């Protein structure tokens, strides 16, 4: 079949569409567009799921919160939550919620009950259970840690997901369907033709500095909170792709501290929650206007305390929990002036920048994790019209990588002779593709070695995500596998992960170690803002271990420097070998070397 005329014209370009942004929207668009036969290139400046997608609450919830203001959002969220369950069943886990209700507000209880009854109508869309009304005793029986003068409670049903895995699955699928993925590569300029139409993008690899140019017939700006910056790269006014960036943080505790997710209210009356999430507990979330650097968003101790104090109101034992980390991301909420953060709409919108003179350029603004697929579908529908493409979206019918069949973790564990928990985690993250990682272990039994003990993560998986899932740094491996995010803070595994990274990618071992130390330094910043006594002790031990093993260095460089060494014990000779960095004339940084 001949491609449609408009598409044939576009085929003079390298690709039909350049997607900028490797979050859930960008990877979702890349997948959908590739499935409909478009030639796609995706650019991600940092790493897949680096921003809001990888730092969300880890839920594809139905948006019960939005029922009052945006019932549309609730309905589409619920429907799409159902679709995600169908295409990636391995990534989902049920999170039942409890909403304790204080006696002082008892007159409101029937209203809230009715509210959840309205929500129940949407639950079948996502295989959720209807809400139940609980007495105070029932509530305390389900969750003995709950305190306070309560008149009852409500239970309702949501689903948890690993946002980073979701992005990775979309990206891998897009690539397998022919899309070109550039991870760690930033677009520096969107070039426009004589009539203002999009012509090409210029890009630079942030790891090795290589630059390039790719011609394209259209550009999709799916960069979330970075959207105004990205628009400006194509000389479109940043205000044309304006969002209201809202920083949200989560506090991560060691272990599952509750059976259910529990809702609470902060001192200023905002709804927050604690949720058991995989092998940890997570409290979230804050929502504050953010004006800082988007590449370096971290939680601070004030935000951590705000959340802990808010949750302690109904679940005081949280004060004794052990904080092992925090996450922080910036929501790209639709722009509005003069509203409080929580009141902002979670709707999404597509801006066609033809109206700003940039034909072929589009910005995706707003949205939420649960409705990413629908948002991507709407975006690719626009592209399909542009290229006269008749193929319709099938992303809700086609399984994501690993989502095609169920895998028995015990069988995997038995067949590969690996720890059952490690096998279970592998199946969670990779679904049926866990067998591919298994094949690696069969070929090379040494890859059964545990790298990260806390999670646990095996060597085979580390190698797999570097080779097949575009992980280019230790932090990217961590994002894909949760390596180094446990209680030990990466003390045992980062150096090892660094050397594996170096080996897989043909880097020097020192470069791998340097990358590992960068990861450690950054991770430490996300932990120290929530330190408690136990974790403080662990941090001190971790520092001692790193000092002994690698050396905590002044600057993130371990470049070798020449040293006069005694040879044969008597004569001193100048050693002239230097690292490539030195040969290239990189400045000496007083770092360490031997």
Partner 1 sequence: MTERIVFVVGAGAAGLAAAWAAARHGATVRLVDSGSGVSALVGGAADHRPWEEIARAVALRGQTPLAGELPAGVADFAADLDLWSLPLAEEPLLRLATEAGRLRTARGADSALLDWTQIPAGGRVILPRAIRSEWDAGSLARSLREDTYVRSRGLKLEVVDAKLFKLQGEERIAPADLALRHDEPQRLAWLEMRLGQLVAEAGASDAILLGPWLGVRSPVASVLSKNLGLVVGEVLSGVGGAAGLRFEFARERMLAKLGIELQLACVEAVEPVEDGYALSIEGRQPPEIADAVVLAIGGVAAGGVVYCAPETRAGRDAPDRGSRAFKLSLDAPVDLRAHGKRLDVTSSIHGPRMDDCAWPIDADPGLLEAVGVDCDPTGRVLPGLYAAGDAVGDAPRTVLEAVASGIRAAAAACLTEID
Give, as ranges, the residues between 473 and 512 that touch partner 1 (CB under 8 A): 491-492, 495-496, 499-500, 502-503, 508-510
Is residue 567 a contact residue for partner 1 (CB under 8 A)? yes
Structure tokens at 470: 């575009």
Stretch that binds partner 1, among 279-287, 340-348, 421-429, 529-537 (CB under 8 A): 529-537
Site for partner 1 in 265-284 (CB under 8 A): none
Is residue 528 a contact residue for partner 1 (CB under 8 A)? yes
Is residue 144 a contact residue for partner 1 (CB under 8 A)? no
What is the rounded distance in angstroms from the CA atom of residue 588 to the CA atom of residue 581?
9
Query: Smallest distance, Å, CB 97 to partner 1?
Result: 23
Is residue 2 a contact residue for partner 1 (CB under 8 A)? no
Query: Smallest distance, Å, CB 519 to partner 1?
Result: 13
286-305 footprint of partner 1 as x/- string (CB under 8 A): --------------xx---x
Task: Output 85 or 481, the one with its CB closest to partner 1.
Answer: 481
What is the rounded distance in angstroms from the CA atom of residue 17 to the CA atom of residue 7?
11
Q: Which listed residue (210, 339, 391, 449) binds partner 1 by CB under 8 A? A: 449
What's phi and psi for 203, nearest 5 deg? -135, 160
Query: Smallest distance, Å, CB 491 to partner 1?
Result: 7
Beta bridge partners of 457: 452
End-to-end CA distance of the chain: 64
Beta bridge partners of 363: 221, 351
Sequence-ordered list of residues with C-beta below 8 angstroms from that of 490, at least 6 positions apart, any chain: 452, 478, 483, 484, 519, 520, 523, 542
Task: Output 92 or 146, the one with its CB closest to partner 1.
Answer: 146
Structure tokens at 62: 């139905």
Query: Smallest distance, Å, CB 468 to partner 1?
Result: 20
Is residue 124 a contact residue for partner 1 (CB under 8 A)? no
Cβ pair 412, 32 in contact under 8 A: no
What is the rounded distance in angstroms from the CA atom of residue 540 to the CA atom of residue 517?
16
Task: Output 136 or 532, the one with its CB closest to partner 1.
Answer: 532
Task: Output 443 or 446, the one with its CB closest to partner 1.
Answer: 446
Site for partner 1 in 165-194 (CB under 8 A): none
Buried residues in 553-582 as b, exposed as e (16+ CB within 10 A): beeebbbbeeeeeeeeeeeeeeeeeebebb
Site for partner 1 in 568-587 (CB under 8 A): 568-569, 572-575, 577
Task: Output 154 or 513, the one with its CB closest to partner 1.
Answer: 513
Task: Output 169 or 510, the one with its CB closest to partner 1.
Answer: 510
Is residue 350 a contact residue for partner 1 (CB under 8 A)? no
Query: Smallest distance, Å, CB 585 to partner 1?
Result: 17
Task: Output 199 or 459, the one with its CB closest to partner 1.
Answer: 459
Is residue 146 a contact residue for partner 1 (CB under 8 A)? no
DSSP β-ladder status, 17-20 and 40-44: parallel
Query: Smallest distance, Å, CB 473 to partner 1?
Result: 17
Query: Smallest distance, Å, CB 430 to partner 1?
Result: 21
Q: How far is CA 142 from CA 131, 146, 262, 281, in A?
A: 15, 9, 11, 17
Site for partner 1 in 387-446 (CB under 8 A): 445-446
Task: Output 228 or 456, the one with its CB closest to partner 1.
Answer: 456
Cβ pair 19, 42 in contact under 8 A: yes
Query: Smallest distance, Å, CB 108 to partner 1?
Result: 24
Cβ pair 297, 46 in contact under 8 A: no
Query: Smallest distance, Å, CB 419 to partner 1?
Result: 8
Site for partner 1 in 532-551 (CB under 8 A): 532-533, 536-537, 539-541, 543-545, 547-551
Is residue 453 a contact residue for partner 1 (CB under 8 A)? yes
DSSP β-ladder status, 271-277 and 280-284: antiparallel
Query: Smallest distance, Å, CB 163 to partner 1?
Result: 25
Q: Which listed residue (110, 178, 193, 316) binds partner 1 by CB under 8 A? A: 316
- Helix 474-481 × helix 509-528 angle, to 10°: 60
| Kind plus residue range of the DSSP H or E element containing 71 | helix 71-87
Is residue 448 a contact residue for partner 1 (CB under 8 A)? yes
Task: Output 11 or 492, the one with its CB closest to partner 1.
Answer: 492
The contacts found for 580-588 with CB under 8 angstroms, 24 or more apart, are 580/508, 581/557, 586/559, 588/561
Residue with tokens 């139409």: 197
Q: How far is CA 96 from CA 128, 147, 382, in A?
A: 9, 19, 37
Could you tell me where the DSSP H helices lie in 217-343? 227-233, 301-312
Q: What are the counts of helices (DSSP H) followed by strands (DSSP E) for the chain?
A: 18, 22
Is residue 84 a contact residue for partner 1 (CB under 8 A)? no
Task: Output 154 or 581, the one with its CB closest to partner 1.
Answer: 581
Q: Which listed residue (40, 400, 423, 553) binds partner 1 by CB under 8 A? A: 553
Query: Smallest distance, Å, CB 79 to partner 1?
Result: 40
Task: Output 134 or 500, the one with its CB closest to partner 1.
Answer: 500
Of 335, 337, 342, 332, residue with least CA distance to 245 = 332
Cβ pair 369, 316 in contact under 8 A: no
By rule CB under 8 A, what count of residues binds partner 1? 76
Cβ pair 218, 363 in contact under 8 A: no
Task: Output 127 or 492, the one with its CB closest to partner 1.
Answer: 492
């Amino acid at each position: 079949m001949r491609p449609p005329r408009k598409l044939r014209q576009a085929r003079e370009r390298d690709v039909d569409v350049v997607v900028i942004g490797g979050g859930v929207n960008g990877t979702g668009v890349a997948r959908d567009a590739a499935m409909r036969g478009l030639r796609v290139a995706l650019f991600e400046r940092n790493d897949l799921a680096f921003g809001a997608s990888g730092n969300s609450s880890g839920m594809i919830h139905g948006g019960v919160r939005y029922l009052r203001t945006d019932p549309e959002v609730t309905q589409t969220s619920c429907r799409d939550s159902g679709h995600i369950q169908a295409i990636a069943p391995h990534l989902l886990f049920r999170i039942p919620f409890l909403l304790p209700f204080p006696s002082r507000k008892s007159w409101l209880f029937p209203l809230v009950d009715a509210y959840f009854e309205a929500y129940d109508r949407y639950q079948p869309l996502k295989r959720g259970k209807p809400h139940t009304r609980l007495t105070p005793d029932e509530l305390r029986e389900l969750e003995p840690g709950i305190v306070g003068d309560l008149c009852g409670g409500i239970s309702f049903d949501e689903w948890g997901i690993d946002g980073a895995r979701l992005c990775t699955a979309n990206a891998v699928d897009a690539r397998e369907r022919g899309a070109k993925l550039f991870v760690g590569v930033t677009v520096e300029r969107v070039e426009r033709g004589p009539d203002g139409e999009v012509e090409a993008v210029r890009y630079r690899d942030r790891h090795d500095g290589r630059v390039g140019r790719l011609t394209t017939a259209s550009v999709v700006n799916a960069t979330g909170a970075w959207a105004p910056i990205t628009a400006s790269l194509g000389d479109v006014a940043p205000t044309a792709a304006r969002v209201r960036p809202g920083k949200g943080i989560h506090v991560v505790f060691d272990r599952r501290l509750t059976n259910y997710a529990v809702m609470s209210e902060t001192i200023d009356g905002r709804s927050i929650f604690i949720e058991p999430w995989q092998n940890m507990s997570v409290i979230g979330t804050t929502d504050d206007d953010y004006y800082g650097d988007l590449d370096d968003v971290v939680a601070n101790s004030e935000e951590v305390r705000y959340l802990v104090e808010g949750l302690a109101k109904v679940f005081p034992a949280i004060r004794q929990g052990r904080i092992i980390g925090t996450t922080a991301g910036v929501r790209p909420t639709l722009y509005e002036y003069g509203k409080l953060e929580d009141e902002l709409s979670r709707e999404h919108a597509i801006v066609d920048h033809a109206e700003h003179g940039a034909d072929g350029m589009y910005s995706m603004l707003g949205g939420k994790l649960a409705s990413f697929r629908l948002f991507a579908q709407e975006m690719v529908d626009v592209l399909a019209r542009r290229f006269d493409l008749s193929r319709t979206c099938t992303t809700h019918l086609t399984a994501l990588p690993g989502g095609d069949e169920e895998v028995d973790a015990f069988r995997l564990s038995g067949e590969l002779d690996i720890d059952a928990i490690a096998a279970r985690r592998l199946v969670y993250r990779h679904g049926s593709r866990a067998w591919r990682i298994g094949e690696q272990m069969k070929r090379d039994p040494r890859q059964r070695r545990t790298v990260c003990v806390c999670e646990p993560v095996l060597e085979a998986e580390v190698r797999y995500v570097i080779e097949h899932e575009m992980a280019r740094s230790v932090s990217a491996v961590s994002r894909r596998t949760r390596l180094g995010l446990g209680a030990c803070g990466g003390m045992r595994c980062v150096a090892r992960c660094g050397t594996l990274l170096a080996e897989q990618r043909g880097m020097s071992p020192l470069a791998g170690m340097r990358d590992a130390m960068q990861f450690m330094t950054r991770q430490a910043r996300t932990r120290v803002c929530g330190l408690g006594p136990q974790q403080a002790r662990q941090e001190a031990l971790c520092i001692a271990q790193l000092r002994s093993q690698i050396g905590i260095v002044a600057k993130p460089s371990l470049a070798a420097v020449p040293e006069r060494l005694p040879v044969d014990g008597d004569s001193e000779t100048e050693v002239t070998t230097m690292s490539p960095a030195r040969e290239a004339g990189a400045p000496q940084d007083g770092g360490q070397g031997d």
